Amino acid sequence: MIRNNKESTFTIEPLSPSQSFEKGTKQMKGHDYKEIIFLFSGEGSLKIDDEVIKLYPNTLFFIKKNQAFRILEGIDLNGYSIKYKNEFIPSSGLTYKSTFYSKLNGYISDLKFIKFKKKGIENLKTHFNILLQEYEEPEGAFTSKAILQHLFIALILKIERKAREIVIDTTKGKMDSHNRKLYTDFLNLLEDHFMVNHNMEFYAEKLGLSRRKLSDLVKEFTGITAKKYLLNRVMLEAKRLLAYSNKSLKEICFDLGFEYPPYFSTLFKEMTGHTPNEYRKIEHQK
């Protein structure tokens, strides 16, 4: 049995030219995962929220969490679809120094798609093929999930490298390049300190900004305040620890920089809809 529908935080499947391409209902409900569509042949169109985007060969398309999305039409479509949640990205040895999360919210987040030249597409095809092969290993295959996670990290970093080239080239000389650097500095700073410091004054002072300026900066790139962004990051790590570690709720609470477990539990439920224990039980039943 393959892992399909078993690993709720990651799936990869080939696009089939003969499949029905309408995703979900005509009401276009949003979803709680991110999606990467890699199209290497065919044509058609997809709709993201209220925008219709043409499908081009040799192109990666990015659908963000909670965006309403469906493929409207497709002719001889061939490629892959990857659906994933940030929880699938492993912390680097649980040292919390990994920049993988900030990479996922870096230059890639500025783009709706990346079109590759024929010269650079073969390496990408090979990487997707290897990912699919590992995904189709039997569910209990030795270290298969770890291999899958790190193959996916490598793919994301390859895409991020290309996205960075595009964004830097298109924003060269523009006034917002300074804000881009400040935003990236904030992401890296957050990765180093979010486990121990939830005070936004700390981050603002490190960046030489007022708290209001920092909040406006983060909102410019993400649509949410700096404080909400930090709490989202903390909750993501909480989900990882609940799903993938044997630590007690009290230990997780203290690891994440909270002094009072009841407050952490209340905040977790407000942000996820489940208590920490409910979330852990749900994840362990998958």
CATH number for the domain that contains residue 83: 2.60.120.280
- Is position 126 within any domain? yes
Positions of E strands within the chain? 10-15, 34-48, 51-55, 59-63, 69-84, 113-115
Residues 161, 182: one domain?
no
Residues 165, 208: one domain?
no
Structural domain including 211 reads 177-284
Yes or no: say if 80 and 132 are a contact pair by the CB < 8 Å rule.
Answer: yes
Last residue of a domain, one of 171, 188, 223: 171
Q: What is the pLDDT of residue 260?
A: 93
Q: What is the DSSP string of 76-100?
A: EEEEEEEEE-GGGSPPSTT-S---H
Residues 194, 151: one domain?
no
Q: What is the pLDDT of residue 203?
A: 97
Q: What is the pLDDT of residue 166?
A: 77
Structure tokens at 12: 């990869």
pLDDT per position in the chain (286 positions), as tens? 344 444 578 999 998 664 444 443 344 445 678 889 999 888 888 877 667 888 889 999 888 776 667 788 888 889 999 998 877 876 544 443 344 444 455 566 667 888 887 777 888 899 999 999 999 988 777 888 889 988 998 888 888 788 877 766 665 544 466 887 888 889 888 888 999 999 999 999 999 999 999 999 999 888 899 999 999 989 988 887 888 788 999 999 999 999 999 999 999 999 999 999 999 998 777 6
Q: What is the pLDDT of residue 21?
A: 45
Residues 16, 138: one domain?
yes
Q: Work out the number of other CB atoms within 10 angstroms of the CB of residue 286.
A: 10
Q: Work out the number of other CB atoms within 10 angstroms of the CB of residue 256.
A: 19
Yes or no: say if 14 and 80 are a contact pair by the CB < 8 Å rule.
Answer: yes
CATH number for the domain that contains residue 233: 1.10.10.60
Residues 144, 41: one domain?
yes
Residues 25, 140: one domain?
yes
Q: Is 63 exposed, middle or buried (0-12, 13-18, 19+ CB in 10 A)?
A: buried
* Chain centroid, CA 52 distance in Å: 22
Residues 125, 181: one domain?
no
Counted domains in the chain? 2
Question: What pTM does this model have?
Answer: 0.61
Q: What is the pLDDT of residue 286?
A: 60
Q: Work out the number of other CB atoms within 10 angstroms of the CB of residue 257.
A: 15
Q: What is the pLDDT of residue 172?
A: 55
Q: What is the pLDDT of residue 50?
A: 62
